[in-house]
Amino acid sequence: MSTQLAYIWRLFREISLLHLWLPLVLTLSAETLYGFVIGRLKSGAWSDVSSYWMEHLPTLLVHYLVFLMVFVALLIKRAAVTDVNIEILDDVLPRATSYRAFGMIPIREWFEAPTVEYQLRILEHRARAAFEYHRTLLFFSRIDYLATKANYLDRDHAVSLAKLHRRWNVPLAFLKRQDCVDILGQLSDQELKDLAWFRPILLKRITWLKSALKSSWFPTSLALKQPLRLQAFVVVKNVDGTETLLHFAKDHNTLALKRLSDKAQRAALVRLATLIDATVLDQQGTLLHEFDFGA
């Protein structure tokens, strides 16, 4: 019980300044000044502050209610149990000759505990039996990419992620929204459907969907069945020449890898991965400078 209380007190100290004390002081100051001015204009005398605040007590109550809602929401979010399900790597990686990962999760989440554990597990296996390993970041959102260039947004995390991959000797490629859309445009209509990314109603109008995706004004999220961050995938090539496809789902405190078994979806993802590699790598398999995230 003492641990839970300590956690609650720590969270309260972290958020109380911006979400409780600062708004409270500003409200008290502004409302008190307003009460004086109104009283002066109405009666020619300074208003009785105490009676004024008795009439405006709901204002304070609203502040406390908003703070309570924010506090409870953060408490629930941070207290969530971390669930990392990546045991499948222990089965797949000992037989791997290459590990090609294609990710869409926000840059900052690469430094959260579940993602760090995931990457360390891969590096652990790679130290035992070397295999080709590279990652491509897919920025289907132009705003997400621009955030990696802004100091006050994700730039520090982006630079650190690039440095880590360089130290690990793992090529880290990236594709902007237009590059991603151009590659999707090379897929057949059936392959787009087999990806299982887009809403069924839009797949019935596949020509319109392709046109909409090419438009910079069209938010990709409107076409998706679920957030694209949950659609990351991995293509693992095995020593016997076969390929294992994994679905990578990361959402706050949870991270899960599962084997993909649907043949049509597997074929569509392999085709997509091949097109991506053909874009970011040269004929010798070396990452092109223009697609190097750390360049």
Total domains in the chain come to 2
The pLDDT score that the predictor gives to residue 102 is: 93
78-84: average pLDDT: 61
Phi-psi region of 169 (alpha: psi -120 to 50; beta: other; left: phi over 0): left
Residue 75's pLDDT band (cuts 50, 70, 90) = low
- Identify whether residues 8 and 62 lie together within a single domain: yes
| pTM exceeds 0.75, yes or no | no
Domain boundary among 50, 79, 108: 79
Co-location of 60 and 88 in the same domain: no
pLDDT tier, 236 (very low <50, low <70, confident <90, very high otherwise): very high
Residues 75 and 123 in one domain: no
CATH number at residue 245: 3.30.870
Residue 204, domain extent: 83-291
Which carries the bigger pLDDT value, residue 272 or residue 129? 272
pLDDT band, very low/low/confident/very high, at 15 (cuts 50, 70, 90) = low
Q: Are residues 54 and 93 in the same domain?
A: no
Q: Based on the fold, state whether residues 27 and 74 are members of the same structural domain.
A: yes
pLDDT of 135 strictly over 90:
yes
pLDDT at position 70 over 80: no
Kindly state whether residues 139 and 279 are assigned to the same domain. yes
Looking at the fold, whether 104 and 245 belong to one and the same domain comes out as yes
pLDDT of residue 25: 74
**pLDDT for residue 53:** 62
59 plus 106 within the same structural domain? no
Same domain, residue pair 120 and 63:
no
> Could you say which of 57, 79, 101 is where a domain stops?
79
Domain shared by 90 and 67, yes or no: no
Say yes or no to pLDDT of 145 above 80.
yes
- What confidence tier does 19 reach under pLDDT thresholds 50, 70, 90? low
Residues 56 and 94 in one domain: no
| pLDDT of residue 278 exceeding 90 | yes
Instruction: Give the residue with greater pLDDT, 199 vs 96.
Output: 96
pLDDT, position 165: 93
For the chain, the average pLDDT equals: 80
| Position 172 pLDDT exceeds 90 | yes
Mean pLDDT of 37-48: 55
Same structural domain, 164 and 30: no
Which of 9-23, 112-126, 245-259, 279-293 has the least mean pLDDT? 9-23
Q: For residues 115 and 84, what is the distance between their CA atoms, to the nearest angstrom?
A: 9
Last residue of a domain, one of 33, 51, 79: 79
Q: What pLDDT is stored for residue 295 in this prediction?
A: 78
The percentage of the chain sitting over the pLDDT mark of 90, rounded to a whole number, equals 25
